[in-house]
Amino acid sequence: MVIVVCRYNEDISWLRGECVVYDKKAMGNVGRESETFIQYILHYYEKLPDYVTFLQGNPFDHCPDLWDRLDEYNGGIEVLSNKIVADDINGCPNHCGLPMKPYIDKYIPQIKQNKFVFGAGAQYIVPKENILSKPKAFWQKIHKSHWEDEKAPWILERLWLLIWNMTI
């Protein structure tokens, strides 16, 4: 398992094991964690490890028991935070008014749901096969969305669980 960390200004002395750290400070945190996670997927697409853990620079805000959860992991997609239900296509609760539907229609039309369960902070353990069930072109399109839609990181935060479980 590889841990992929999107760092902005956080202290990452907590890291252990095999890690890939992307430091966003020089870029001004463009695309937040979602751009970083997709950047990793695109770079390692042909040589992904069996499991990838995607984390923010301070994962403990959303997952205080992170190390226990990683030590106890036994497969599948694992949400490493509290699960939240977005009650409508506009991203509520939290960030109501997100342009979810236009984003989905443009970038991920396979998604038909109007309600979403998502992990706060977009932290997950994802098996390689769930990532590879989407072609590289899908990931390139979603990566590009960060420069076309400034709200992409918050929209993707609500869509990750659907994306990880979706096959294209």
Q: How many CB atoms neighbour CB 15 within 10 A?
A: 14
The residue with greater pLDDT, 105 or 31, is 105
* Contact indicator for 129, 166 with CB cutoff of 8 Å: no
Q: Where are the alpha helices (DSSP H) in 108-151?
A: 128-132, 136-148
User: In sequence order, what are the residues at sequence separation of 6 or more whose Cβ sits closer than 8 angstroms to the Cβ of residue 71?
Assistant: none
The residue type at 82: N
Three-state DSSP class for 159?
helix
pTM given for the model = 0.92
Give the list of residues 6+ apart from residue 33 with CB closer than 8 angstroms, or none. 6, 54, 56, 121, 122, 153
Q: Is the pLDDT of residue 112 over 80?
A: yes
For residue 75, the Cα-to-chain-centroid distance in whole angstroms is 17
Q: Is the pLDDT of residue 95 over 90?
A: no
Residue for token pair 């038909």: 112
For the chain, give the percent of residues with pLDDT over 90.
71
| Tens digit of each residue's pLDDT (9 = 90 or more) over 69-94 | 999 999 999 999 988 887 767 766 66
SS3 state of residue 77: coil
Helices H / strands E in the chain, number of each = 6, 7
- Specify the 3-state DSSP secondary structure of 86: strand
CA distances from 3 to 6, 18, 21, 98, 124 (A): 10, 6, 8, 29, 10
